[in-house]
Amino acid sequence: MAVINITVNGIKISKEIADNTILSDFLRDDLALTGTHIGCDTSQCGACVVHLNGNSIKSCTALVADCDRSEITTIEGLATNGKLHPMQEAFKKNHGLQCGFCTPGMVMSAVDLLKKNKNPSEQEIRDWLEGNICRCTGYQGIVAAVKDAASKM
């Protein structure tokens, strides 16, 4: 057990946790931030993607202990004062989601892409999202959403 200090969606948290606590479990079980989803056991599906100090990571393979003194943003922290982030707006406008399960990870990945590449080509979008699996959309609405968001951000 160790005390970790971590900022999640702008809120400072100091908490004693077991050393083997996984970030996705911590977010879901300890903080009730259930928007971060767990879709596989092998760090393949990307439903659990959050931002660690502004970079997208798969939270199912991160130890909370390694995130000490870090800033985490989850899907719940993306909208500000009830206003959707442009990426969230773009997913809505372009029907980039159906069942919604992969969506939080997909949106968090896409937001990070545009931080790193403001105007990605379609192929760059598709390559970047290769680590996020969606079973519903065939990725068409998702890619359209990312392009749309890029044009507005």
Partner 1 sequence: MANLVGAKIERKEDKKFLTGKGRYTADINLPKQTYAYFVRSPHARAKITKLDHSKAMKAPGVIDVFTGDCVAKDKIGGLICGWKIVSQDGKDMKCPPHPVLAKDSVNFVGDHVAVVVAETLEQAKNAAELVNVSYKVQRAVTRTDEATKFENIHEGIDNNLSFDFLLGDKGKTDEAFSKADKIVKLDVVNNRLIPNAMEPRAAIGDYNTSSDELTLYTASQNPHLDRLIMSAFNAVHPEHKFRIVSPDVGGGFGSKINVYAEDVVVAYASKKIGRPVKWVAERSESFMSDNHGRDHVTHAELAVNNEGKITGIKVDTIANLGAYSLVLAAVTPTYLYAPLLLGIYDIPTACCTVKGVYTNTAPTDAYRGAGRPEATYVIERIVTEAAKEIGMDQAEFRKKNFIQKFPHQQCLVHNIDSGDYNAHLDKAIELADYKNFENRRSQSAKKGKLRGIGFSTYFEACGVAPSAVVMSIGSGVGLWESAEVRFNATGNVSVFTGAHSHGQSHDTTFAQIVGDKLGVAIENIDIVHGDTDKGPFGMGTYGSRSLAVGGTAIVNACDKIIAKGKKVAAKMLEGKPEDIDFKAGEFILKNSNKKKTIGEIAFACYLPGTFGDVNSPLPEGVEPGLIETSFFDPSNFSFPSGSHICEVEVDEETGETKLVKYTVVDDFGTVINPLIVEGQVYGGVAQGVGQALYENAHYDESGQLTSASYMDYTMPRADNFPQMTLDYTCTPATSNPLGAKGCGEAGTIAAPAAVMNAVIDAVGTDVQMPATAEKVWKALKKNGSKKAAA
Q: By rule CB under 8 A, what count of residues binds partner 1?
A: 53
CB of 24 to partner 1, least distance (A): 11
Choose one: 51-59, 65-73, 75-83, 111-119; the region binding partner 1 (CB under 8 A): 75-83
Binding track, positions 55-74, relative to partner 1; x by CB under 8 A: -------------------x
The distance of Cα 17 from the centroid of its chain, to the nearest Å, equals 22
Residue nearer to partner 1 on the CB measure, 2 or 40 = 40
Binding partner 1 (rule: CB under 8 A), the pick from 125, 148, 149, 150 is 125
User: Under the criterion CB under 8 A, does residue 45 sit at the interface with partner 1?
Assistant: yes
User: What is the full DSSP assignment across the chain?
Assistant: -EEEEEEETTEEEEEEE-TT-BHHHIIIIIS--TTS----SSS-S-TTEEEETTEEEEGGG-BGGGGTTEEEE-GGGTSBTTBPPHHHHHHHHTT--SS-SSHHHHHHHHHHHHHH-SS--HHHHHHHGGGS--SSSTTHHHHHHHHHHHHH-
Contact residues for partner 1, defined by CB under 8 A: 28, 33-42, 44-45, 47, 74-76, 78-79, 84, 88, 91-93, 95, 97-104, 107, 122-123, 125-127, 129-130, 132-143
